[in-house]
Amino acid sequence: MSETTQENIAAETSAAPCSLAEQMRAETSLKSKVTTLRTARQAWEAGEVAASNRRKYEILAETYRLLLSSTPDELREVATLFDISMNAATPAASIAVKIVFGDTDRRRASSLGKVLEAAQAKKKTPEDLVQWIKDEGGVENIRLQKAKSSDKKPAEIGKAKLRKQLKPAFVIPAAQAAEMKDGADGFLVHISRRNPDSGHDVLFTLNTDAVLNAVFAAIAKTSESEDAEAPESESKTRSIEVSGVTATGLKAAMEDAVQA
């Protein structure tokens, strides 16, 4: 091998690869710059992003195993230890995701939680999860499929969530609620105003379908987006003595029920 050839090989071996910025500066036309960026993006997706997603799915699979092997109450206890935000309507799957992935990115927690809920519904095993996510086209595609699979209206979804909430925050005794006409399924909307004693005066009750459906739809939307999540505390039933339409002490009793 000649000295010239050896020098050329040495030069090629020692030359550092050009950075993306250097490649862009070397291009002279807009088309060539875009082509360079597209090539870089494709390499990034095939390499770093693919590896990152594989690892994320592996962690999610073990989170799924955690979900299947734990009760909702156990998950809530652990979530409390890690100061995870949740409310009475937060599904166990979302709690499991938040415990592992954190709850600062609520959109991600909601999406991954829906994936685990869909996996449960289809009776997938933790060992099947990673391949199943790939076969379904990824997390976002599964989330969208789950949303499309339900033909229920938002009001029906919200009503269903209320039916599952067995423990009330407080109770207005029957003697005081006798004149309050309820709507479908016994649901009723109250409108109240704070009084000078820091209690709340129940001024009116509404039971029209339009009002009830608007409230049910708002509940469904709030639960889905999880924008209104608050730290969970064990709810306890409280009885409130009401004189006429004046709910003296109602606010205090509600606060006790939340803080107890």
Q: Can you list the pairs that 196-204 forms with residues at least 24 positions away whose Cβ atoms lie under 8 Å?
A: 197/248, 197/249, 198/251, 198/252, 199/246, 199/247, 199/248, 199/249, 199/250, 199/251, 199/252, 200/247, 200/250, 200/251, 201/245, 201/246, 201/247, 202/172, 202/242, 202/245, 202/246, 202/247, 202/250, 203/245
pLDDT at residue number 246: 42
- Give the model confidence (pLDDT) of 187-204 as tens digits: 777 777 787 877 777 777
Amino acid at 31: K
The whole-number average pLDDT for the span 119-148 is: 87
Q: Are residues 222 and 204 in the same domain?
A: yes
What is the pTM for the complete model shown? 0.49
Host domain of residue 200: 155-259
Report if residue 6 sits inside a domain: no
Place of tokens 């003697």: 175
**Which has more confidence, 39 or 239?**
39
Please report the pLDDT score of residue 72 as a whole number: 94
The sheet that has 200-206: what strands, in order across it?
189-194, 200-206, 246-247
Say if residue 145 is in the same domain as residue 181: no
- Residue 82 within a domain: yes
**Cβ atoms 36, 27 nearer than 8 A:** yes
CA distance linking residue 45 with residue 32, whole number of Å? 20
Residue at a domain's end among 89, 118, 149: 149
Q: Is residue 32 part of a domain?
A: no
* Together in a domain, 253 and 229: yes
162 and 126 both lie in a single domain: no
Same domain, 139 and 166: no
Q: What is the pLDDT of residues 154-199, one digit of tens each?
A: 767 766 766 666 566 666 776 666 666 666 566 777 777 787 877 7
pLDDT tens-digit readout, 73-82: 999 999 999 9
Residue among 100, 25, 35 at smallest CA distance from 64: 100
Q: Is residue 166 part of a domain?
A: yes
Total domains in the fold of the chain: 2
What DSSP string describes 167-215?
Answer: S-S-B--HHHHTT----GGG--EEEEEE-TTS-EEEEEEE--HHHHHHH
What is the mean predicted confidence (pLDDT) over 14-36?
A: 85
Tell me: do 111 and 161 sit in the same domain.
Answer: no
Is the pLDDT reported for residue 260 higher than 60? no
Q: Considering the domain boundaries, does residue 53 fall inside one?
A: no
Are residues 110 and 183 part of one domain?
A: no
Helix/strand/coil for 40: helix
Classify residue 132: in a domain, yes or no: yes
C-alpha 90, offset from chain centre = 8
Residue 37 in domain: no
Do residues 171 and 235 both lie within one domain? yes
| Phi and psi at residue 85, to the nearest 5° | -75, 140
| Distance in angstroms (rounded) separating the CA atoms of residues 89 and 102 | 18
Q: Using the 3D structure, point to which of 149, 179, 200 is the last residue of a domain.
A: 149
Residues 198, 145 share a domain: no
Query: Cα(109)–Cα(97) distance, rounded to whole angstroms?
Result: 6
- Which SS3 state, helix, strand or coil, does residue 93 take? helix
165 and 229 in a common domain: yes
Query: Is 27 within the bounds of a domain?
Result: no
Specify whether the CB–CB gap between 37 and 24 falls below 8 A: yes
Looking at the predicted structure, is the pLDDT value of residue 235 above 70?
Answer: no
Residue that terminates a domain, selected from 149, 165, 189: 149
